[in-house]
Amino acid sequence: MIVALAFLLSITILFLDITFSLPEKFSDYPLYLQFIPSLLKYLSLGTLAAAGFLVVIVFTLLFGRVYCSTACPLGVLQDIISFISKKIKKRKYVYKKPLTKTRYSILIVTILVFLSGSVITFNLLDPYSNFGRILSNIFQPIVVGINNTIAFFLESFNLYWIYPVEFRGIEIFSLLFSIGVFGIVGWMSYKHGRLYCNTICPVGTFLGFISKFSLFKIGITESNCISCGVCERVCKANCIDTDNSSIDFERCIACFNCFTSCSTEAIEYQFRYLPQKKDGPIVNISKRDFVIKSAVYFVGASAVLKAQKKIEVYKENEIPVIREYAVSPPGSVSINNFTDNCTACHLCVAACPTHVLQPSFLEYGLLGIMQPRMDYIKGFCNYDCVICSQVCPSGAILPIKQESKKLIQLGIAKFEKDNCIVYTQKTDCGACAEHCPTKAVRMVLDPEVNKNAPKIDEEICVGCGACEYACPTIPYKAIYVKSNPSHLTAKLPVQEELEQPDLEEDFPF
């Protein structure tokens, strides 16, 4: 139980660390054992350092589904809900028949869809990812709200101990989905304990299947049993049938409630000799040629943006800018690699300090629903930040070093002259060049308007989106990043030496 709470708390803190005070590496520990992300990371990296899921399988082969009772944050969350439910209303569990067909159908569909090359089912059903989304989509905004209210209050007494955190809106689909899942999981656990785990969760079913072969299993020693039924009533997985003195170990989530409740020590781990060993499903993903249906979307004409800017005095620009593909985060290598591995747990979304990573809707196509994309309307990718690559547990964003990140070209900036203020208003602007970290955008004199106008050097552009984010035109941007579906390598900007001034000289005035 302490282990379970430790996992839950550390994962929760990870997602709710709105002030970004945790070291990035912290995420490695609680997330190492998350089954599906770790499986995906292992498949794409092939290193044992990413093989948390193997550890889970080994544990399951030894003792059953301990993952479900300790490491799985959604599972522990359910326990908390049922705990509260029992406090409110004295509730007793009873043995229920397993819903084997439903369970296995879901598992089989999940696996089949995965083998056919899409992670969409993982995406929708993985308990860790769902937990992550519940935290980042529902709870994070609440925490931010509370934080900001307190900050606002203190600040009115001139106390600046805590500061308000910027909130850049939510992606409505992800929010609704998370609320839906939270509702279902909440209701099921409120009424029936771990029903979700034993009906819907594919990880639960899969581990249940493996636990059929586990070395030790929980069983009833009939000579000690007085058939009092206490154990059945405390079993939140509804898997103890005292009438028949049997335990459905496939559904047992190894919470050990029965151990502690049994007065006669009739329940214990029993050795089950089983020579035949089972391996995890090693799938060859390199051959998955999954076609992304890219959704075309407009750059700039977002409702959020419109809502923000109130004072307008000049006429809006007219050329709609169209981006064909979404921009995937640095370290994701390509859109394909990203969508193949991302389970949309939204940890990177929660961890990104500039809020550029946002849940997508259909920008990656139907199969990539909710997977994060770079949203250059909400933020830009900080030149030396690599946080998302360090927290991503599934290998969808591979770990990268700061120096190499500076050369990853996520996309290329494109200029739409007819939307640009220098041309539409004939006044100076330069917000894009101001923000560009490599000076791929610089202001160069254009004799046509006798003003400095943006010029792009595509070779050194890294596609960070700073220019697009800063560009103040509305409703469409005059500069935007066109995605590289496969990331490329940018050139380093070359810098000539400057002549140092002579300090002995007099002031020029």
Partner 1 sequence: MKRREFFIKSAVAGLGTAAYLKFGNNFDLFANTKTAPDNIYDLVAIKGGEADVMFNRAINSLGGMKRFVKPNQTVVVKPNIGWDVSPERAGNTNPKLVKQIVKECFDAGAKDVYVFDNTCDNWTKCYKNSGIENAVKEAKGKLVSGANESYYQEIAIPNGKRLKEAKVHELVLNSDVFINVPILKNHGGAKLTVAMKNLMGVVWDRGYWHRNDLHQCIADYATLRQPDLNVVDAYYVMKRNGPRGVSEADVVTMKSQLISTDMVAVDAAAAKLFGFDPNDIDHIVYANQMNVGTMDLTKLKIDRISL
Q: Tell me if the bond preceding 475 is cis, omega within 30° of 0.
A: yes
Amino acid at 169: G
Residue bearing tokens 């092939």: 46
Q: Select 100 or 425, whichever has its Cβ closest to partner 1.
A: 425
Binding interface with ligand SF4 (CB under 6 A): 329-330, 352, 354, 356-357, 381-382, 385-388, 413, 435-436, 438, 440-441, 456, 461-467, 481
Instruction: Give dist(CA 191, CA 185) in Å, integer.
Output: 10
Of these partners, partner 1, ligand SF4, none, which one is at the site of residue 46 (CB under 5 to 8 Å by kind)?
none
In the list 220, 391, 431, 481, the residue contacting partner 1 (rule: CB under 8 A) is: 431
Closer CB to partner 1, 218 or 456, in the complex: 456
Element (H, E) at 481: strand 479-489
Compute the distance between CA of residue 47 and CA of residue 51 in angstroms, rounded to an integer. Answer: 7
| Residue closer to ligand SF4 (CB basis): 166 or 265 | 166
* Residue among 163 and 187 whose Cβ is closer to partner 1: 163
Can you read off the two tokens belonging to residue 439? 């000076």
Q: Shortest gap between Cβ of 137 and ligand SF4 (angstroms)?
A: 17
Instruction: Give 440's DSSP letter.
Output: S
Residue 139, amino acid: F
183 phi/psi in degrees, rounded to 5: -60, -50
DSSP string, 100-114: HHHHHHHHHHHHHHH
β-strand partners of 268: 219
Which of ligand SF4, partner 1, none sits in contact with 500, Cβ below 5 to 8 A by type?
A: partner 1
Q: Compare residues 405 and 451 and give the one whose CB is closer to ligand SF4.
A: 405
Strand partners, 414: 480
In the complex, least distance from residue 376 CB atom to ligand SF4, rounded to whole angstroms: 8
Q: Rank residues 92 and 401 by Cβ distance to ligand SF4 and give the closer one.
A: 401
* Nearest-approach distance from CB 37 to ligand SF4, in angstroms: 17
Q: Does 501 bind partner 1 (CB under 8 A)?
A: yes
Asked if residues 186 and 79 have their Cβ atoms less than 8 Å apart, the reply is no
The answer to whether 266 touches 224, Cβ cutoff 8 Å, is: yes
Q: Under rule CB under 8 A, which residues in 351-370 are in contact with partner 1?
A: 353-354
Binding pattern for the stretch 391-410 against partner 1, x by CB under 8 A and - elsewhere: --------------------
Q: Residue 44: CB partners within 8 Å, gap ≥ 6?
A: 285, 337, 340, 341, 395, 396, 398
How many residues at the interface with partner 1, by CB under 8 A? 60
Q: Which does 155 bind (CB under 5 to 8 A by kind): partner 1, ligand SF4, none?
A: partner 1
Place of tokens 């990413």: 50
Which 20-79 positions form the footprint of partner 1 (CB under 8 A)? Answer: 20
The one of partner 1, ligand SF4, none whose footprint includes residue 462, by CB under 5 to 8 A per kind, is ligand SF4
d(CA 473, CA 432): 11
Secondary structure letter of residue 309 according to DSSP: -
CA distance 433 to 308: 23
Cβ 22 to partner 1 shortest distance, Å: 13
Q: Which is nearer to partner 1, 80 or 301 (CB)?
A: 301
Residue 363 CA neighbour count, 13 Å, CB half: 26
- Return the DSSP state at 67: I
Cβ proximity to ligand SF4: between 178 and 409 the closer is 409
Identify the bridge partners of residue 372 per DSSP, sorted by sequence position: 359
Q: What are the φ and ψ backbone dihedral angles of 165, each rounded to 5 degrees?
A: -105, 140
421 binds, among ligand SF4, partner 1, none (CB under 5 to 8 A by kind): partner 1
Report, in Å, the least distance between residue 115 CB and ligand SF4.
30
Q: Is 320 a residue that touches partner 1 (CB under 8 A)?
A: no
CB atoms within 10 A of CB 199: 18
* Sign of the C-alpha dihedral computed for residues 328, 330, 335 and 336 taken in this order: negative
The answer to whether residue 485 forms part of the interface with partner 1 (CB under 8 A) is no
Q: Which of residues 435-454 bind partner 1 (CB under 8 A)?
A: 435-439, 442-443, 452
In the complex with ligand SF4, the residue whose CB is nearer, 66 or 467, is 467
Q: Which of 122/469 has CB closer to ligand SF4?
A: 469
* Residue 20 interacting entry, from ligand SF4, partner 1, none, C-beta within 5 to 8 Å by type: partner 1
| Interacting residues with partner 1 between 131 and 190 (CB under 8 A) | 145, 148-149, 152-153, 155-158, 160, 163-166
- The residue behind tokens 């609440």 is 142
What are 141's strand-pairing partners? none
Residues that bind partner 1 (CB under 8 A): 19-20, 145, 148-149, 152-153, 155-158, 160, 163-166, 309, 311, 313-314, 353-354, 382-385, 421, 425, 427-431, 433-439, 442-443, 452, 470, 472-474, 493, 495-501, 503, 506-509
